[in-house]
Amino acid sequence: MQELKSMKAIITGGSSGIGQAIAVAYASEGAEVVISYQKNKAGAEKTIAAIQAFNGKAKAIPADLNKTEDLHNLVQDASKFLGSIDILVNNAGTLTRHDDFLDIPLDAFEKIQSINLKAPFFLTQQVATVMRQQDRGGSIINISSISAKIISPGLTHYECSKAALNMLTKASASALAKYKIRVNAIAPGLIETNINQTQREANPQAWNKRTAKIPLNRAGKPEDITPMAIMLASKKSSWITGSIITIDGGSDVYVPT
């Protein structure tokens, strides 16, 4: 049985990593999917091709999530293609790495907040408005991070954005419950994606040091996130809202020896 049969989903940042994996997984469960991408057109086309390989319906829409106009157009274009919206996954995110807190420039802080927080805020408002008009509820899923509560050198701007995203999840869950719109977040741990590819390749020693702290003895893969993303979008989670669900291989319970 397909868990998301005939549901309509928007997934930001669907050209690689977790977003790509969720898009393909949703389509395999019967959902029709729109993904956004900014620069990685080849990756977006790969996502669509993977979905179309099993006759799924999908479309990729270019959007700069720093621009309010692009965010608005994404929702409008997706609504026209899908006919309605049942699911929003605020997945797109970015980070920059710095040696020290004092080295983080203000423009980096502002860009991180724009993509990781402002875009999900605006899209949640826009999509929730569509869901309210449809009058059948819906599910909004934010992709957060364990960085919302675990400190790492030179990532303060990123950590702040994810901590704020967690609060957005809880506040919007409270505000939208009266419309039967559920809002939850998934907080992944260390996942092998494009966002940390440079570190994996250029500094394997640092990467290995990070993975050594994971009790299940490996970094996660995007596919480790998809089962929870499917459940939170499905009727099986009809009494779950305002939750931040950690998927991190046990990193949250790591105790140094």
* pLDDT tens track for 69-100: 999 999 999 999 999 999 999 999 999 999 99
pLDDT at 9: 98
Q: How is residue 134 written in tokens?
A: 């449809």
pLDDT higher than 70, residue 255: no
Instruction: Say what angle helices 156-176 and 119-134 make with each other, to 10 degrees.
Output: 20
Query: Catalytic residue numbers?
Result: 145, 158, 162
pLDDT at 26: 98
Q: Which residues contact 43 (CB under 8 A, 6 or more apart)?
A: 15, 16, 20, 37
pLDDT at 117: 98
pLDDT higher than 70, residue 257: no
pLDDT at 138: 98
Q: How is residue 136 written in tokens?
A: 């059948």
Q: How confident is the model at residue 202 (pLDDT cuts 50, 70, 90)?
A: confident
Residue-wise pLDDT for 104-159, tens only, equals 999 999 999 999 999 999 999 999 999 999 999 999 999 999 999 999 889 999 99
CA pseudo-torsion sign 149, 152, 158, 160: positive
pLDDT higher than 80, residue 188: yes
Q: What is the 3-state secondary structure (H, E, C) of 30-60?
A: CCEEEEEECCCHHHHHHHHHHHHCCCCCEEE
pLDDT at 170: 98
pLDDT higher than 80, residue 57: yes
Structural domains of the chain, with CATH: 8-247 (3.40.50.720)
Mean pLDDT, rounded, for 241-256: 89
pLDDT at 203: 77
Q: Which residues contact 56 (CB under 8 A, 6 or more apart)?
A: 27, 28, 32, 33
Which pairs count as long-range contacts for 62-65, CB under 8 Å and 24+ apart, including other chains? 62/36, 62/37, 62/38, 63/12, 63/36, 63/37, 63/38, 64/38, 65/12, 65/36, 65/38, 65/92, 65/114, 65/115, 65/119
